Structure 1
């Protein structure tokens, strides 16, 4: 039997194969958006939140504004870590004013100016709210939130990478920034435009010195800022990300969650962050997200199906009624985007088959 194809047909098949491969890439491209990568080019900032600088549109596409639903007012920050899950601080959800109720909250992504929703800005309700079971004052200050609908990734909305579970190693990271809409200065006014601050990671031993924070700092926390103060997160930045680049890569990882500090930008009193690598196993357990074990630049973000995380706050979590004044940074009440959807493999095969028949028959 002769299995040779005419030259014209071979050319057509070749063209069809190329077009089909591009079609599949486009159809499934959203699942291949890499975590921790920006779609825009940003110069490294040496600015600060306290008295600082406006972030460029798209500079921090994983930044979330957590808002009280009935007032639509920004209260805390959070980080997009998958299409279904956000990462924040447990102290943002005190039981005293009902903020431990997921129905009190909404998450806004793709936002820079709190007063202006761009065409790519999206809002999600909170379906599940999980605080760490041993959260107490400044200890274990971490929470995860599952949204009610998948988050569609585009240029201005993306997920940050999560570091490998285990001990935090300060020498692995550089170009660290803290971001948020918190106060521009201690006891000052909150920001309307997203602010960014370039901060330095401070060794644990330094932060544990008596004239710094002493024994209040443990290895589940990260200190970041400057000995002389002047640059820091502040009230309203709580729950937001401390984003650092893994050395040797261009990816940002959320290595810390804004947790507490004594005042804002004071000498020897830098910002204190919950270490996400320390709680990596907890995050995996609660969300079902498989955190990369390799931490190399080849990691791609894969769409998760949102099946994990069936726990809810009601009846399962213990939330202390108050946080210590003057120590914890309390909550202050003080372009294009299409909602994401994973393309089912069967549908993709069927569509590809019809495309092949129409093109090549």
Structure 2
């Protein structure tokens, strides 16, 4: 396992913007750490297409990364574009895996990554959990599985052509077709090529589902699937939600979906976003909220973060012998209550560096 941080926290939508943000944020993070820095790079679909079709430009990007002491081991191909628009919400799930656009974007990202990987290294590209759960019909599911089969064939051809193995990592997320690890095992186990398609285990999503981390990882292994990537992330937890609207109100921001699960009355109850949760969910058991919070800093009491789930999940992945890329993915800095403002690059770089130090120490994963 090696450690990276995901650049989807930054809003660049073109190649010039990507390079500018490496200088504005990634280089200062590396300087804070005093070591080579791993990146989980996010490229919008137009940038991925541009680079995939232009080998000299890929070589230029690789040289720019090398000159800055930056190493790319994984790409995040979940957001297609527009990830920092004023309102993202359900848009992040489009185009979904029924479409050729999603397949082409994913294979473009893989082609770019193959030229950016360190010598002798394999890489990963994470992707969305097929689609949001509705509307979703049997024909959609068949189409999505067919696209995944095409993706596996494309990744195999890429490996044959370049000698570089890039694997696709499907990321379960609450509210989606692949809602949790149990869905992933049921829907993908035995139906995808496990050499080229596995799972991205986002530990914020895992915590929100109230799954047992070790049990979830063992179920992935038993299904013949591989944890290709771990997104090291933490959710918000509120043990006593009787005053949830007051405590969690500052986190009910308009850009991203913040799915909520309540463990109460003998089961897990669901809401698709925080405003809905305040009126729909029971308050006689703990709530967990899909809001990625910085790993190194406790949220204000009575809130807690689910870093224990992260630790347990990584330990379980290590125990079953999988060696995924580990990517710190706190993309929510800009919408945190009292978080860094858009012009506080130094504060954001220091925060990302602190998260990476926390992860290296607590997860025993080298940077």
Question: TM-score, normalising length from structure 1?
Answer: 0.29
Question: Which structure is higher in helix share?
Answer: 2
Bigger radius of gyration, 1 or 2?
1
Question: Which structure is higher in strand share?
Answer: 1
